[in-house]
């Protein structure tokens, strides 16, 4: 049986995918995958996700050049999430220009955020509006 048939995709046919830096262990981002995007990712070793807003496959870095070279793929114990250990080309995984999408820490007992991390590129210069 194919590994894709053993996973638990949600009612929309999606599974959560976490991208983690292969060397530092930093969590870079969370995105969604469907069977096709996961199949493409496994075959090409380049992270490809399902864009819920565009309703199409989205190869990470197709506009920014900040691709994710997939080194290994793990599945959690319940089979309802995947972990991609990646080499992040270009430094930034987040569309905001940050290295990680998790650059905002909850502070003041949940009343605000504290942002951290250097912005590596200006999104206005990269993404078409």
Give just the sign of the alpha carbon dihedral 87, 59, 39, 16: positive
* pLDDT (0 to 100) of residue 1: 63
Q: What is the pLDDT of residues 39-87, one digit of tens each?
A: 999 999 999 999 999 999 999 999 899 999 999 999 999 999 999 999 9
Average of pLDDT values for 31-40? Answer: 98
Question: Is-contact 49 38, C-beta < 8 A?
Answer: no
**From the CB of residue 119, how many other CB atoms can be counted at a distance below 10 Å?**
14
The pTM for the full model equals 0.92
Q: Dihedral through CA 60, CA 58, CA 75, CA 103, nearest 10?
A: 50
What DSSP element (H or E) covers 57?
strand 56-59
* pLDDT (0 to 100) of residue 127: 87
Average of pLDDT values for 87-93? Answer: 95
Q: Decide which of 3.40.50.150, 3.20.20.210, 3.10.20.810, 3.40.50.2000 is the CATH code for 3-119.
A: 3.10.20.810
Average of pLDDT values for 17-42? Answer: 98
């Amino acid at each position: 049986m194919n590994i894709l048939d053993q996973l638990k995709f949600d009612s929309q046919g999606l599974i959560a995918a976490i991208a983690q830096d292969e060397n530092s262990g930093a969590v870079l981002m969370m995105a969604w995958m469907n069977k096709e995007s996961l199949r493409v990712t496994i075959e090409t070793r380049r992270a490809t996700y399902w864009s819920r807003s565009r309703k199409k496959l989205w190869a990470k870095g197709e506009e920014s050049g900040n691709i994710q070279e997939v080194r290994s793929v793990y599945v959690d114990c319940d089979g309802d999430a995947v972990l991609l250990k990646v080499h992040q080309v270009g430094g930034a995984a987040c569309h905001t220009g940050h290295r990680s999408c998790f650059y905002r820490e909850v502070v003041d007992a949940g009343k605000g955020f504290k942002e951290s991390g250097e912005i590596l590129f200006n999104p206005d210069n990269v993404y078409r509006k």
